Amino acid sequence: MEDKTSQFKIILGSSSITRRTILAEMGYEFTLMSADIDEKAIRKEKPEELVMALAEAKADAILQRLPVDDYVKEVEPTLLITSDQVVVYEGVIREKPANEDEAREFLKGYSGGHAATVGSVLVTNLKTGFRKGEWDRVEIYFNQIPDEIIEKLIEEGDVLHVAGGLLIENPSVQPYVKQVVGTIDSVMGLPKALTDKLIMEAL
């Protein structure tokens, strides 16, 4: 696979393994930095506003730890990519489940119902200071999910670490996904087409 990043560098401001995987699949090389912010301290009523505000806060937190003056002087620009995601269920924003009971409640709600993911991507050019972000929404419809599958997912534990406890790429969940209106990469945390578009606009 060709390396698309020969004319610029990328820092992925995320500790998410799936975001790393998706960005690598897109043909980019990058370094990693995570933003240690208190996500609960940032509140917005609309999910689109919340994920954009969180991506901005993550970028700002990382910028404070970087020698920005050095990036301005470099010939090749460095792009910082930050993102965030929430799940929306019956109009309510869902972040990572607080515990197993909340994860169980979330998953039982999806059974035979529907949810949406709202994810943001923000690209900041450290050389020029240019910054642009957008969000992407995907609707997911479910068949009935058996209780034993829900218990298995909670026992495995991965659902506790993702927004809304929603893991449609998990092999145990896939048979119960009726329809996805949007892209799987967006559901997993990094919409490829939007990320590519913002990278091109930021250069």
Confidence class for position 169, pLDDT limits 50, 70, 90 = confident
Instruction: Give residue-wise pLDDT tens across range 110-141.
Output: 999 999 999 999 999 999 999 999 999 999 99
User: Which pair of structure tokens corresponds to residue 175?
Assistant: 């048979």
149 sits in the region (left: phi over 0; alpha: psi -120 to 50; else beta) called alpha
Residues 6+ apart with CB under 8 A from 200: none
The DSSP secondary-structure symbol of 14 reads -
Question: Cα–Cα distance between 27 and 24 in angstroms, integer?
Answer: 5
In the chain, pLDDT over 90 holds for what percent of residues? 85
Reply yes or no on whether 84 is catalytic: yes
Q: 2 pLDDT exceeds 70?
A: no
Catalytically annotated residue among 36, 38, 60, 84: 84
Predicted structure pTM score: 0.91
Residues 6+ apart with CB under 8 A from 65: 33
Instruction: Give residue-wise pLDDT tens across range 175-196.
Output: 999 999 999 999 999 999 999 9
Residue 113's CB: how many other CB atoms inside 10 A?
15
The H-or-E segment that residue 116 falls in is strand 114-125
Q: pLDDT value at position 41?
A: 83
Instruction: Give residue-wise pLDDT tens across range 83-93.
Output: 999 999 999 99
Q: pLDDT value at position 40?
A: 79
Q: 156 pLDDT exceeds 70?
A: yes
Q: 1 pLDDT exceeds 70?
A: no
